[in-house]
Amino acid sequence: MTDALAGSGLVVVDKPAGMTSHDVVARLRRYFSTRRVGHAGTLDPMATGVLVVGIERGTKFLAHLVASTKSYEATIRLGAATSTDDAEGDVISGASAASISTEQVLAGIAALTGEIMQKPAKVSAIKIDGKRAHERVRDGEDIDIPARPVTVSRFDALDFRREGEFFDIDVSVDCSSGTYIRSLARDLGEALGVGGHLTALRRSAVGPFLLSDALTLESLETTPQLSLSIDEALSRSYPVLDVTEQEAAALAMGKWLEPRGLKGTYAAVDPQGRSIALIKEKGARLATVFVARPSTL
C-alpha cells in the first residue's frame, strides 16, 4: 500500500442557490484538475447547503452513503400549489390560508411524520424507464410517479408567519434518503385544503457530514482541498474495527477474515490509522464491502 490515495476523499460543499449539483461537480473537476468527481444526492437549484462530493477514489465511496439520514431547514408556504411543488413552478391552484390555525398545521405535520408513503414531485430526478421524470415532464408527457415508503424521523415547526392570504412555516426535517421536502410541503397543503409549496430549502446534514464541514465554492477555487480524506470519510461514517498489518494487507487484496461476531458494517483501520476497507460479516466470513485502499494502488 502506498500514499497514492493522498488526493482521494470527500469535499463537503455549501452549495449556493441557483446552481445544479452537476454545476458544482463541473466546478470541482476544474478546481481539482480531475474528471473523477461525483456527488452523493442531488440538491435542486433552489436549494442550498450540504452537498457531499467525492474526489478520485472518494467517488467509489459515495455509493455507501446512499442510505444516510438527511437533515433540512425549509420554509413551506400554505395557500398555493405549484407545478413543481416549489417556488420555481407556476401556481396551479390555491385557496386562502388566512383561517388555517397553527394547531391545524401541527396536526398536519404530525400526520406526515414517521414511516409514510410519499409520491415524489413530477419534476424530480427519479428515473422512469431509464429517463428522469423532470425530462419527461419537459417533453410534454403526463406522468404519474407511484408513492413509495420513506421515513420522516423529525418534522418540527419552528416559526409561523402570516403573509396576507398565505401562511408561511419554517420547519426542520430529519428524513431518510429519497424523501422529498417539497412533497411534504405539497402534501401538507393538500391535507389542509389550501395548497402548499416550498419557498426555501437548506440541507444541513447528510449522515455525519454537517454544514460545519462545508466549504464554499469561492474558497475551493482559491484553495482546492478535501474536507475529509478517504480515511476520515470511512471512519466517520462507520464504527471502527482495528486490524493488524497482516489483516489489513489481506483486506487490501479483497480477502476475507475470520468472523468475530460483528453486527453491521465497520471501517477496518490499520495500526497507522488508515481506513483499509468497509467490512461486514457474511455467513462464515468477515468480507469486504468496499476496499478503500486496494493493494493494486
Q: Which residues of the chain form beta strands (DSSP E)?
A: 9-15, 37-39, 48-55, 70-78, 81-82, 91-93, 114-118, 127-128, 131-132, 148-163, 166-175, 196-206, 209-210, 228-229, 240-242, 265-269, 275-282, 285-291
Q: Is 217 exposed, middle or buried (0-12, 13-18, 19+ CB in 10 A)?
A: middle
Measured on CA atoms in the order 160, 162, 167, 170, is the torsion positive or negative?
Answer: negative
Number of helices (H), then strands (E), belonging to the chain: the values are 8, 18
Active-site position among 3, 14, 44, 187: 44
Q: DSSP class of residue 289? A: E
C-alpha to C-alpha distances, 160 to 110, 152, 195, nearest whole angstrom: 16, 21, 16
- Helix-, strand-, coil-residue percentages of the chain, each rounded to 5: 25, 35, 40
Contacts of 223 (CB under 8 A, 6+ apart): none
Does residue 123 contact residue 89 with C-beta atoms inside 8 Å? yes
| Whether 44 is catalytic | yes
Does residue 54 contact residue 63 with C-beta atoms inside 8 Å? no
By annotation, the residues acting in catalysis are 44
